[in-house]
Amino acid sequence: MSHRASRRRLTLVSFAGVGVLGAAGIYLLPSTASAAPCPDVEVVFARGTGEAPGLGITGTPLVSGIKSALPGTTVSSYAVDYAANFSQTSAGPGATDMTNRVTSMAADCANTSFVLGGYSQGGSVTDIALGIRTQLGSGRAIPAGLADRVKAVVVFGNPLRLSGRTISSASAVFGPKAKEFCNVGDPVCGNGSNGAAHLTYHLNGSVGQGARFAAERIGQG
């Protein structure tokens, strides 16, 4: 698949996603980082294309699931501040914002660990922040010295798979920490033709699995 065709496919599915969400009466409100100044864990998540600013339809339940799985642990969240535009050109700036958040939080809070993740174009944001080259731009990557502070990576519908790669195969550092979900038929990550498959990660148990994976990784120290 050509780069232009891939981007067109992503855009069409993104428009379909907005239509389905609107028809279902789901209107996503902005989310801000939680108030704890130095939490034990911070989840830094990038929403999908066309979603309102905030954690989005997968990030919101992912954070809730991680909190539930880690009683007695303080968990904050940060919604990556980026355009999530339909032209798919905002992944690079999103990666820079993700990296800047991790860098600044790590400097202020020496004992805070991180879970990184994203959905759809947010997966590309995560890829770039992990230092993986993609067709959707470039941005600042997380410094090597902070790699150990990132305990888990969870992505849903990541376009990286269209190039025949995954985080596990593309990153020796972050691959062992990654959990990646791609539904059968999902055109954004699986080159399928079922747009609805891209919209059900928060409904089919994937988010819960991702939350448990992240919690287990954190529990391992």
- Contact in structure between 167 and 153 (CB atoms under 8 Å): yes
Written as one string, the DSSP assignment of 198-212 is: GG-TTTSSHHHHHHH
Burial 57-77 (b: 16+ CB within 10 A, else e): bbbbbbbbbbbebbeeeebbb
- Contact in structure between 125 and 98 (CB atoms under 8 Å): yes
CA 196 to chain CA centroid, Å, is 19
Among 14, 113, 124, 198, the one annotated catalytic: 198
Among 14, 31, 76, 120, the one annotated catalytic: 120
Question: Count of H helices and E strands in the chain?
Answer: 6, 5
| Tokens representing residue 86 in the block | 């339909």
77: annotated active-site residue: no
Among 31, 171, 186, 202, the one annotated catalytic: 186
| Tokens representing residue 64 in the block | 């809730």
120: annotated active-site residue: yes
Query: Which amino acid is present at 193?
Result: S
CA-wise closest residue to 81 among 115, 109, 50, 55: 55
- Contact in structure between 122 and 157 (CB atoms under 8 Å): no
Q: Which residues contact 148 (CB under 8 A, 6 or more apart)?
A: none
3: annotated active-site residue: no
Q: Can you tell me the distance from the alpha carbon of 221 to that of 217, in angstroms, rounded to the nearest whole number?
A: 7
| Residues that are catalytic | 120, 186, 198
